Structure 1
Amino acid sequence: MKKFLLLFFLLPLTIPCLLAQDSISVLFIGNSYTYVNDLPGTLGSLASSLGKEITIDSKTNGGFTFQNQVNDPLTFSKIHSKPWDVVVIQGQSQEPSFPDSQVNTQTLPYALQLTDSIWANNSCGNVMYYMTWGRQNGDSQWSEINTFEKMNTRLYNAYMRMADSSDRSMVSPVGRVWSYVRANHPTINLYNADQSHPSLEGTYLAACTFYTSLFQQSPVGSNFYGGLNSATAGILQNAAALVILDSLDHFHLHPVDEPTQADFSMVQNGETIQLTNESSRAVTYSWNFGDGQTATTTDAQHVFSSNGNYTVQLIATSSCNSDTMSIQVNVTSLGLSDLNVEQVRMITHDEFMEVMSNEPGFSLEVWSVDGRTLFEKQEVGQIPLSIPRINQVQLFRFTNSERAAKVVRIF
């Protein structure tokens, strides 16, 4: 899936829905949040109504944690029963919301062990974390999760951290869509009587979320309502599309037949760029700097020899697929003198910085590490200029018609 960063904004070159497979195989590994109301069957019927085919199996045990799954040989028998396109894994409804120290020892290692086994079975397969939701009134056993909002936030953070820790596995953000519906459609009850498990509405919402996450397409328009009236089903379909489709990268969602994803960050200092490879599940890398020079290293550094606009491209490749990302780089600082850096003074405070020049007539530009212009101010002089403090490397450049001062600061 090609991506292009123009003027330092990431823009997909292709429409995600055109890349998604129409037929995939999915294994659910979870517990009662999956089997109550038959989430896999609901998802299958929803997909079928929209012209998609999903081969689905599940291994669900009531109350099972990630550790329980790892300790059960039947879990691995299911994983290795076929080369699944996607394996969905889910923890016990409370465990990811517990204190970080507990999650770090009792949850995260076992989630990663499952992930490793899934990829060992199919190196081109995908892991998708099932982000569950907070209980209707939270969990009273700990003040940090004693409301829905608190518990839901901790679950969100934990599942995103698990996905980030396993080479950017995908996330089906059911808990995030759940929160949207509760806030915007409070008359729709997503819970059954125990205030924890899903009602029919909750299961249908989860199915819409999984459909959108798996295919990167909207479920709006499906004539399968899962036992609900068409109006309620339509609201839940729309909620999944609204929350997910403009946040695909955030939840690491991509076409399931493209598990390798190209990604990199860049620090530019004048004519020099430092490129840090952040691709996922790639084996080889090919850099093209747009000036006739190339490289095959994991990370790269390059110095341009002349001013101009250059397209810097990375192709990340594995046995599964290749993916491309490009960034447009503008080089304009060649030949500028750094001799007047001493004319620039900066004073760092807790929340802001004071910046001034000893000479009048200078303009100030502040650049982020990835090349975005964060701040511009004309005619900076001896009066201190206050700007927000940002905790990352920045390029401060003072210019006038004759010379420039470049100062790199780390806060």
Structure 2
Amino acid sequence: MKLIKKLCIIFLFIPITLLSQEKDVKKVLLVGNSFTYFWNMPQMVNAMAQLDNFPMEVRQSTVGGSTWEEHYNEKRGTKTRGLLNSEKWDYVVLQDHSLSTIEHLNRFNEYGEKLGDAIKNNGAKPYLMMTWAYLSNPLMQKVISKEYKELAKNMNIEAIPVGEIFMKARELRPDLNFYFDDKHPSSIGSYLIALVMYKALTGNSVHDIPNRLLSKDKDGEELILSFISNETGTFLRQLVDETEFKNKLVQK
């Protein structure tokens, strides 16, 4: 009888132990500059994953105004190479300087491929995050889109079309201010970018993502990452949900 009781305790304990173990969390690193970190975009993507109970952790390696060449050669305090060598990642998303495709195309292609190789050597999958045109010159987008797509094709990877969706939103809703200045996104713009990144990374619908995204600081105090109007949020979420991505990057 005592043996039966012990066996029952063991079998009851196993499922509880398994359920209590941490899910297989996919680790994503966003590499870039202020186009990535403005208005807490990486933190917004993390907040969306938490709301969806999606097992993903997004971190960033960003320095304002930095290029892929600087990330690769560890200039200006960039830490990307160190992070690739010291930690295990599942996916690494690369965003270059906003003028690289226009003024430094050779550098853009060379260091995009070099970083891609370094990421693959880490055992991770690289992806590109397409940037957007400046407020003062929407004609930039044609070149930006072309070069990101061509590089992605040459690297046999995907380019997340953030810039194209950003510009489509700007065209459809000229009454909304998607820019903080001539190039950086406003809080609305960064919310849109986060929606695009979240759907591309997970394949999940963003229909139920709230207008207010929250986080907590190291002391447990609530932080508001994003707070936009319901009408604006509805438009942005519908725009992103209607966009078809070739492949979701992260598998559950």
The bucket for the TM-score relative to the shorter chain is 0.7 to 0.9
Report the Cα offset of residue 223 of structure 1: 2.0
Change (3 A) 1:97 1:216: farther
In structure 2, the residue matched to 1:234 is: 234
Look up the SS of the partner of 1:38 in the other structure: helix
Do structure 1's residue 119 and structure 2's residue 120 form an aligned pair? Answer: yes
In structure 2, the residue matched to 1:175 is: 163
Do structure 1's residue 202 and structure 2's residue 185 form an aligned pair? Answer: no
Relative contact order, higher structure (CA 8 A, sep 6+): 2
In structure 1, the residue matched to 2:92 is: 87
Aligned counterparts of 1:54 and 1:218: Cα–Cα separation in 2: 15
Look up the SS of the partner of 2:39 in the other structure: coil
Report the Cα offset of residue 186 of structure 1: 1.5
- The answer on whether the counterparts of 1:218 and 1:238 sit within 8 Å (CA) in structure 2 is no
- The answer on whether the counterparts of 1:212 and 1:219 sit within 8 Å (CA) in structure 2 is yes
In structure 2, the residue matched to 1:52 is: 54
User: Which of 207, 211, 215 lines up with 2:202 in the alignment?
Assistant: 215
In structure 2, the residue matched to 1:109 is: 110
In structure 2, the residue matched to 1:187 is: 175
Where do 1:263-278 residues align within 5 Å?
none
In structure 2, the residue matched to 1:164 is: 153
1:203-225 deviation digits (Å, cap 9, x = unpaired): 00000000111112221111253
Report the Cα offset of residue 23 of structure 1: 4.2
Identical residues among aligned pairs (%):
26
Structure 1 residue runs without a partner (length 5+): 1-20, 139-147, 259-411
Report the Cα offset of residue 82 of structure 1: 2.3
CA-atom RMSD in angstroms: 1.9
Aligned counterparts of 1:119 and 1:27: Cα–Cα separation in 2: 13
For these two proteins, the number of residue pairs brought into alignment is 214
Aligned counterparts of 1:27 and 1:81: Cα–Cα separation in 2: 13
Aligned counterparts of 2:182 and 2:56: Cα–Cα separation in 1: 30
Report the Cα offset of residue 232 of structure 1: 1.1
Aligned counterparts of 1:155 and 1:180: Cα–Cα separation in 2: 14
In structure 1, the residue matched to 2:14 is: none
Report the Cα offset of residue 69 of structure 1: 1.0
1:336-383 deviation digits (Å, cap 9, x = unpaired): xxxxxxxxxxxxxxxxxxxxxxxxxxxxxxxxxxxxxxxxxxxxxxxx
Aligned counterparts of 1:188 and 1:79: Cα–Cα separation in 2: 38
Aligned counterparts of 1:47 and 1:33: Cα–Cα separation in 2: 21
Change (3 A) 1:254 1:222: closer
- Structure ID, larger Rg: 1
In structure 2, the residue matched to 1:389 is: none
Matched AA of 1:230: N
Look up the SS of the partner of 2:238 in the other structure: helix
In structure 2, the residue matched to 1:409 is: none
- The answer on whether the counterparts of 1:30 and 1:61 sit within 8 Å (CA) in structure 2 is yes
User: Which of 142, 146, 152 lines up with 1:153 in the alignment?
Assistant: 142
Change (3 A) 1:63 1:47: same
1:18-46 deviation digits (Å, cap 9, x = unpaired): xxx99421101100111211110011112
Matched AA of 2:88: P
Give me the TM-score of the superposition, normalised by structure 1: 0.50
Aligned counterparts of 2:178 and 2:168: Cα–Cα separation in 1: 12
Aligned counterparts of 2:199 and 2:176: Cα–Cα separation in 1: 20
Aligned counterparts of 2:205 and 2:55: Cα–Cα separation in 1: 15
Look up the SS of the partner of 2:79 in the other structure: helix
Report the Cα offset of residue 81 of structure 1: 2.9
Pick the structure with more helix per residue: 2
Report the Cα offset of residue 229 of structure 1: 1.6
Give me the TM-score of the superposition, normalised by structure 2: 0.79
- The answer on whether the counterparts of 2:45 and 2:58 sit within 8 Å (CA) in structure 1 is no
Report the Cα offset of residue 230 of structure 1: 2.0
- The answer on whether the counterparts of 2:195 and 2:240 sit within 8 Å (CA) in structure 1 is yes
User: Which of 74, 80, 87 lines up with 2:79 in the alignment?
Assistant: 74
Matched AA of 1:92: H
Where do 1:345-384 residues align within 5 Å?
none
Report the Cα offset of residue 109 of structure 1: 0.7
Matched AA of 2:102: S
4+ long deviations beyond 6 Å: none
1:93-114 deviation digits (Å, cap 9, x = unpaired): 111133xxx41x2210101000
